[in-house]
């Protein structure tokens, strides 16, 4: 590849070093309509509107056209969209009224894309944790969002509640809240257990700091309502705990009556968890389905790999996904909650939005050195879709930081 494809990047050692893009074609996703043998959701990011006359740290403005176009791209690759989740900066800049508008627009767009799968984040984020006084306050908050989303025709992803952490006195309070939510839901929901590495305000979820005890509380709730639980997404970045919980999920219930599914939220170990280990009482417990923020950033590789897995080519599945794991581990490195910056940076590099501006000014949460390494790892994974554009945008970013 010519010198025109070489760029000088900062390093962790505080130096500058030349880097030349690989001379290889980007990954081609599966053709529209390709059937997968795993359910795969991408938690999708939002595109901010940098031209809005707002105070970016206090208000949010969304470029609706670019945001919806990105979701259509994911659907056409065969990936579902997990809407208005933490990848969309829910609770980190995206408020509930804007989230509901996003849900409304995404559901409308999904109806025009054959086979589009979508589920929508339902939480209590319009209730400030410090304003919550009782468990009943949390229940009312969940009810309000459930009713609004179901009125739009959306399926629910029941998100973890910061307010519940504040008012709960133990596992029994979680059981009471989730019993109510699951009884009220019109159709099977996805539950989301988000670890405190993603959101420190969720420390001690399920009423204890003992993760194994917390798992038993969550399993008890699921077993009591198996017909109302499609599956659970756990985002603990702990492969073995996910496998353990996966094997303990009910073998009946779920969407089709054949078992409650595990949706991996492990952005460190997703490839092997999706491939599975063949152990478990029900077929759906021998591998994980997926609901991943990293699928937003690696969508072409995820799509192509899932198509290979469905065709029985596990070797190609791993060959496609394994190079993305170092990239994902870098994007999700501590402080993990700032991973959204890397996701949006990838979308900008690859031309899926015209700017590197985020809701809440979150583009500032990662260093130039971090983004330079992300650029290298994205290239190594075959995920630079337009090399010329990516180089131009990286050079622009470098110049803005005084590296010319």
pLDDT at residue 25, rounded to an integer: 85
Q: 65 is written with which tokens?
A: 């056209």
Whether residue 4 has pLDDT greater than 80: no
Is residue 1 pLDDT above 70, yes or no?
Answer: no
Please tell us whether the domain made up of 38-322 is placed in CATH 3.20.20.70: yes
pLDDT at residue 279, as a whole number = 85
* d(C-alpha 327, C-alpha 342), whole Å: 10
DSSP 174: H
Which residues, in sequence order, are CB contacts of 404 under 8 Å at separation 6+? 398
Alpha carbon distance 317, 313 (integer Å): 6
Every domain of the chain and the residues it spans: 38-322
112 Cβ neighbours under 8 A, 6+ residues apart: none
Share of the chain above pLDDT 90, in %: 95
User: What is the mean pLDDT of the segment spanning 12-20?
Assistant: 96
With a cut of 50, say whether residue 281 has pLDDT above it: yes
Contact 75, 34 (CB under 8 A): no
Say if residue 3's pLDDT is above 80.
no
Average pLDDT, the chain: 96
Q: What is the mean pLDDT of residues 189-210?
A: 97
How far apart, in whole angstroms, are the C-alpha atoms of residue 142 and residue 158? 9
For residue range 351-373, what is the model confidence (pLDDT) as tens digits? 999 999 999 999 999 999 999 99
- Place 282 in a pLDDT band, splitting at 50, 70 and 90: confident
With a cut of 70, say whether residue 376 has pLDDT above it.
Answer: yes
Are 42 and 79 in contact by the 8 Å Cβ rule? The answer is: yes
Asked whether the predicted pLDDT for residue 404 surpasses 90, the reply is no
Q: Where does the pLDDT of residue 333 fall: very low under 50, low under 70, confident under 90, or very high at 90 and above?
A: very high
Quick check: 2 pLDDT over 70? no
Q: How far is CA 43 from CA 71, 153, 277, 343, in A?
A: 10, 19, 25, 10
Query: What pLDDT does 280 receive?
Result: 84
Residue 287 has pLDDT above 90, yes or no: yes
pLDDT at 336 over 80: yes
Mean pLDDT of all residues in 48-64: 95
Instruction: Tell me the β-bridge partners of 120.
Output: 83, 156
The predicted-structure confidence for 84-120, as pLDDT tens digits, reads as follows: 999 999 999 999 999 999 999 999 999 999 999 999 9
Q: What's the sign of the alpha-carbon dihedral 363, 364, 366, 367?
A: positive
Beta strands in 224-332 (DSSP E): 229-235, 261-264, 289-292
């Amino acid at each position: 590849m010519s010198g025109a494809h070489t760029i000088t990047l900062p390093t962790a050692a505080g130096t500058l070093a030349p880097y030349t893009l690989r001379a290889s074609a980007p990954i081609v996703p599966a053709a529209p309509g390709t059937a997968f043998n795993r359910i795969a959701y991408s938690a999708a990011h939002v595109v901010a509107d940098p031209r809005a006359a707002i105070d970016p740290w206090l208000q949010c403005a969304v470029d609706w056209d670019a945001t919806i176009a990105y979701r259509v791209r994911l659907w056409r690759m065969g990936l579902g969209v997990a809407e208005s989740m933490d990848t969309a900066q829910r609770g980190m800049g995206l408020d509930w009224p804007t989230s509901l508008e996003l849900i409304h627009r995404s559901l409308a767009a999904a109806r025009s894309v054959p086979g589009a799968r979508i589920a929508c984040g339902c939480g209590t984020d319009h209730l400030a944790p410090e304003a919550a006084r009782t468990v009943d306050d949390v229940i009312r908050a969940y009810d309000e969002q459930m009713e609004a989303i179901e009125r739009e025709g959306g399926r629910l992803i029941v998100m973890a509640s910061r307010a519940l952490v504040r008012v709960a006195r133990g596992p029994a309070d979680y059981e009471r809240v989730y019993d109510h939510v699951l009884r009220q839901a019109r159709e099977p929901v996805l539950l989301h257990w988000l670890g405190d590495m993603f959101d420190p305000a969720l420390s001690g979820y399920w009423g204890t700091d003992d993760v194994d005890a917390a798992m038993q509380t969550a399993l008890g709730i699921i077993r009591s309502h198996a017909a109302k639980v499609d599956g659970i997404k756990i985002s603990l970045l702990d492969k073995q705990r996910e496998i353990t919980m996966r094997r303990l999920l009910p073998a009946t219930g779920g969407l089709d009556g054949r078992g409650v599914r595990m949706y991996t939220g492990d952005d460190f170990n997703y490839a092997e968890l999706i491939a599975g280990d063949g152990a478990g009482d029900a077929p759906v417990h021998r591998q994980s389905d997926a609901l991943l923020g990293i699928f937003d950033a690696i969508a072409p590789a995820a799509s192509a790999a899932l198509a290979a897995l469905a065709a029985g080519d596990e070797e190609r599945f791993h060959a496609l996904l394994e190079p993305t794991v170092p990239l994902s581990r870098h994007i999700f490195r501590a402080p993990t909650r700032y991973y959204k910056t890397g996701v949006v940076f990838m979308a900008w590099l690859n031309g899926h939005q015209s700017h590197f501006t985020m809701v809440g000014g979150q583009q500032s949460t990662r260093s130039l050195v971090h983004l330079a390494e992300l650029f290298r790892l994205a290239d190594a994974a075959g995920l630079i879709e337009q090399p010329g554009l990516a180089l131009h945008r990286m050079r622009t970013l470098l110049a803005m930081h005084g590296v010319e």
